[in-house]
Every structure is written in C-alpha cells, then in structure tokens.
C-alpha cells in the first residue's frame, strides 16, 4: 500500500511540475496597430509606440509610409 501511495504522489508531482513549466514557456502573440496611416517619422513612431504600447514602431509600406506598432497583445 505504501508503494502505491508513493508512486501515485510521485506521478502527480511530476505531472504538475511538467504542466507548470510548459505553461509559462508559451510565447505571447504579437499584435500590430497602425498608429499613423498617412506619414511616418521613424523616431516619433518608435517613441509613440514605446510610450503607448511598450512596443516597437516601424515605418512600413511604400510612400506615404505608415507608422506601425508591434507589441505584445496581453498589454
């Protein structure tokens, strides 16, 4: 009986440890938001994105460039 209890407790502990370690390791999904669709100054775009969303701003697309902010969705 003691061997079965030890085996059961050991197995449950192992499963709980595995689940807790893998749940925190999942990467968070990035979100994208167009901050300014008509014009993009890279330094302003990056500053605004960092201040508002704690992300990184990029100038993308052909002229006129758009300011796009990439940030973690959970924020």
Question: Number of folded domains in the chain?
Answer: 1
CA–CA distance from 35 to each of 28, 30, 47, 72 (Å)?
21, 16, 11, 15
Q: What confidence tier does 1 reach under pLDDT thresholds 50, 70, 90?
A: low
d(C-alpha 41, C-alpha 11), whole Å: 57
pLDDT tens digits for range 20-43: 666 555 567 899 999 999 999 999
- Mean pLDDT to the nearest integer, 58-75: 89
pLDDT of residue 10 exceeding 80: no
Residue 38 structural domain: 2-72
- Backbone phi, psi, residue 65, to 5°: -65, 150
Count of beta carbons in the 10 Å neighbourhood of residue 24: 6
pLDDT of residue 71 exceeding 90: yes
Q: Which residue has the higher pLDDT, 28 or 46?
A: 46
């Amino acid at each position: 009986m003691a061997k079965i209890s030890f085996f059961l407790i050991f197995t449950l502990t192992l499963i709980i440890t595995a689940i807790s370690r893998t749940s925190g390791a999942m990467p968070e999904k990035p979100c994208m938001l167009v901050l300014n669709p008509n014009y993009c100054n890279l330094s302003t775009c990056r500053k605004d994105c960092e201040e508002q969303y704690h992300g990184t701003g990029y100038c993308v697309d052909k002229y006129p460039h758009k300011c796009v902010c990439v940030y973690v969705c959970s924020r």
